[in-house]
Structure 1
Amino acid sequence: MRRFILLNLALITLLMSTTACGNRNRAAERLAEGTKEAQKFDSNLTFKNITLEQANEKGQLLWKVNAEEAVYAKDKKTATIQKPRGELFQDGQTVFKIEAARSEIKEDGKSILMRGQITATDVRDGSVLKGKELEWKPAEDVLIIRDGFTGDHKQVQLAAKEGRFLTRARRVDVMGQIVAQVKEPTMQMRGEKLSWEIQNQKLKSDRPLQVDRYENKQLTDQGSAEQTEVDLKAKVVNLRQNARIALKQSGTQITGNALNWNIDQKTLVASEPVTIVNSAQQVRLTANQAEMQIDQQVATLTGNVQGVGEKNGSRLSANRVVWYLITQQFQANGNVSYQQSNPPFSIAGPQASGKLDDQQVAVQGSQEGRVELQITPQGAGR
């Protein structure tokens, strides 16, 4: 770092003047005044229109800051600067431009720390990062912004307690009270930890995260999971471990450990055991796998499908069930079995259709299969 040190200039001038004059009393007075000024100057170094910078062993700049005024503390490492404007470098190239109205700056030869209302702009894509504390560690290729971090990119807006920008990997890790606004498709994410891979256009979290989907500024669907990956390019949300999606239109909740939510195509795929519940209709279905057309509100469940109508104790099992969420109608195929408790009877066959919530079920036979009906009299078992 270039040091603009002007210590004892006033003292040297005074000593030269005294020698020329030869007046000891006058020299003594000026010497005392000069010493006092030098001591005062040494305790509070003030420079105008100063440039501060740091280079590595190869002579490549690591950072550079211009300021209208800098007031150094006694340690010569901390200064209060007015209107700082500067650059952060990587491999000799500018990666960020920084600015503030006023800031405290501290450097140790390895990093630079600035406190104030700091703004850092990525020259590569125009992303704007803000916070009250900025720390640049060039050896680690990391820019840390603490105390009210915000980030604004053409795809995503971020807010959190802290943000760590890995400049070479082009990744932002944010922690603490995170709110992430995805601009297209319109989504909001909230949690405590999130990583944004800018070049890959992916948002990832290995902590509980909530994802809200909006259309025309209206909340349409909500998702959550312990592990989440959002592919902004494909417009797909992958939810893993205790995953849940709530569809506002039909009042339906889908839960499982692997939910693939395609925002653009408005589809949902559960590749592992899944549960679908409509609380208003008191209907619950489980299956090994499921696919759903969210826009049409139609779900196709396959593998060990079990359906329960809680209002009347009806139960359905089949190999495959197509369930229309709005009307609550279903079509079942393969080893279909239907039971109900009031009035008690059971029926089985290769195919069935109907509604679980109002006990309207029709089972069809075929050339390969026959319908079996069992009716239990009301007084049976007494």
Structure 2
Amino acid sequence: MIEQNNSFSYFHNSSIPLFILVTLLLGITACNQQNQVQENISEQPIPTQTPESDLTLNDVTLEEASEEGQMLWRVKSQRASYLQNQELIRVTKPEGELFQDGKVTYKITALQGEVYQDGNKIILIDEIEVYDIQNKVVIRGQQLEWLTEPGIIIVTNNITGSNEQIQASAQKAKVISKEKKIEFYGQVVAMVKEPVLKIQTEQLFWEIEQKKLLTNQPIKIEQLKDKNVIGSAYGDESEYDLGNKIATLKKNVQLLQTDPKVQISSDLVTWNMPQNLITSPGPITVLEQEEKVVLKANQGQGNFQNNTFNLSGNVIGVGQKNQAQLNSDRLTWYFENQTFEAQGNVFYRQVDPPFNVRGPRAVGQLENEKVTIEGGSSNVVTEIIPQ
């Protein structure tokens, strides 16, 4: 027998499986309809019914377990209304729990929602909050679809997601509980707290346990200091490691540094932010914007702590103002005084006045055509000084 109280509350402070609850609700509804035609109606209060619902209960707990008996999910609600024709239960101020291996992994709250009779889908609306207990991640939005069997939570409308390292906003977020992963879609903006970064893209995957942010969509990363941009990067694909604070960008990569003013282009670049290193294992182009010098090589690394850039493999340096050109096997560029040191098969040429020379090593400045070539078969030093 099911006991009622004056507030028409069933299963008060108790929990039962969803399919049992639905069966009981159907039974109660049928009994209520039969009792209404009887002349002698019991003085005991009957369950609340509205034109929209077949039965309304207070303080209800719905839950679902696996065939092995492990809890899958649980929803507590202040009020639950069963709609038989739609095969769902409408809940007010639901508080949900998602389980994995018998432990609560996510807690979910909202103002209202709908639990479908098969127990495989739950819809929540207004003031959504999803809390990842282990990783202390909070996701907020205005609408949620909870696919209980695969453990997937989809949140839409004014999405934010945050923990102690990152705060993100997007049009949609997809939480894949088994993979400890959150996928953000649509106008994604992620702010990383240390170092301060602003990441913009259309799709961003947050692998929480691996502490990585990944995307295969065009991305913009800005490094900020005192709210000013001091470096920015663009690419068609990216991976950012929140642990070691290294960004790896692929395809059509461009990096811009403000001090010194440098533009770097490549198809694969690693940006080590703690060490302020930018490395490319493949073809790379460096534009030194102050003096309009272009450097190209098969690979290179910029160290912006000491303001140098090392290039190797078919190095070409061109001063764009006077078209002076230097070729070598290796070259180190010093941004502070706009000088270089080149080694291996050095070849230098200039247009005005026409001149070219070869040697094993060279130092100097491309832009003002002041170059010293050292060595050679006669160990001669050639110094080129513009008129």
TM over 0.5: yes
2:274 pairs with 1:252: no
Q: Is the 8 A contact 1:349 1:372 kept in 2?
A: no
Q: Corresponding residue for 2:6?
A: none
Deviation at 1:211, TM superposition (A): 1.2
SS at match of 2:149: helix
Alpha-carbon spacing, 1:301–1:14, altered in 2? closer, same or farther (3 Å): closer
Shift of 1:305: 0.6
> What is the total number of aligned residue pairs between the two structures?
360
Query: In structure 2, what is the Cα distance between the partners aligned to 1:124 and 1:223?
Result: 32
Distance in 2 of aligned mates of 1:124 and 1:198: 10
Partners of 1:268 and 1:216 lie apart in 2 by 22
In the alignment, structure 1 residue 333 sits paired with structure 2 residue 355: no
Q: Kindly state the Cα deviation for residue 204 of structure 1 after the two structures are TM-superposed.
A: 1.5
1:322-352 per-residue CA deviation (whole Å, 9 max, x = no partner) reads: 1112322111112212111122222222222
Name the CA distance, whole Å, in 2 between partners of 1:65 and 1:349.
79
Counterpart code for 1:193: Q
* 1:7 partnered with 2:17: no
| Percent identical | 31
Structure 2 letter corresponding to 1:7: T
Cα pair 2:170 2:185 within 8 Å, conserved? yes
- Post-superposition offset of 1:8: 5.1
Structure 1 residues 275 and 66, CA gap change in structure 2 (3 angstroms): same
Of 336, 353, 361, 1:351 maps to: 361
Q: Distance in 2 between matches of 1:50 and 1:171?
A: 31
Q: Which amino acid aligns with 2:135?
A: D
Residue aligning to 2:316: 306
Distance 1:209 1:8, change over 3 A: same
Deviations 1:59-114 (CA, angstroms, capped at 9, x unpaired):
43322222222344453534443322121222332111111233455454322222
SS, match of residue 29 in structure 2: coil
Whether contact under 8 Å (2:111, 2:124) holds in the other structure is no
Q: Is the 8 A contact 1:348 1:373 kept in 2?
A: no
Return the index of the structure with the highest Cα Rg. Answer: 1
Alignment partner, residue 115 of structure 1: 125
Deviation at 1:50, TM superposition (A): 2.3
Label 1:111 to 1:43 Cα distance change in 2 as closer, same or farther (>3 A): closer
CA shift digits 1:24-43 (9 cap, x unpaired): xxxxxxxxxx9xx9985674
Q: Distance in 2 between matches of 1:140 and 1:69?
A: 27
In structure 2, do the counterparts of structure 1 residues 284 and 346 end up closer, same or farther at CA, with 3 Å as the change threshold? same
> Cα distance 1:186–1:211, how it changes in 2: closer, same or farther (>3 A)?
same
Tell me whether 1:191 sits opposite 2:201 in the alignment.
yes
1:282-341 deviations in Å (ceiling 9; x for gaps): 110101111111122210111111011111111111111111123221111122121111
Separation of aligned partners in 2, 1:345 and 1:78 = 86
Residue 60 in structure 1 maps to residue 60 in structure 2: no
Q: Residue 49 of structure 1: CA displacement?
A: 2.1
Name segments (4+ residues, structure 1) moved above 6 Å. Answer: 372-375
Go from structure 1 to structure 2 and tell me whether the alpha carbon gap of 1:256 and 1:355 turns closer, same or farther (over 3 Å shift). Answer: same
| 1:6-85 pair list within 5 angstroms | 6-7=28-29, 10-18=32-40, 43=53, 45-85=55-95
Q: 1:282 maps to what in 2? A: 292
User: What TM-score, normalized by structure 1, do the two folds share?
Assistant: 0.85
Mean alpha-carbon deviation: is it higher for 242-251 or for 64-73? Answer: 64-73
Q: Determine if contact 1:181/1:187 at 8 Å carries over to the other structure.
A: yes
On the 8 A contact 1:348/1:371 being kept in 2, the answer is no
Tell me the TM-score normalised to structure 2 length. 0.84
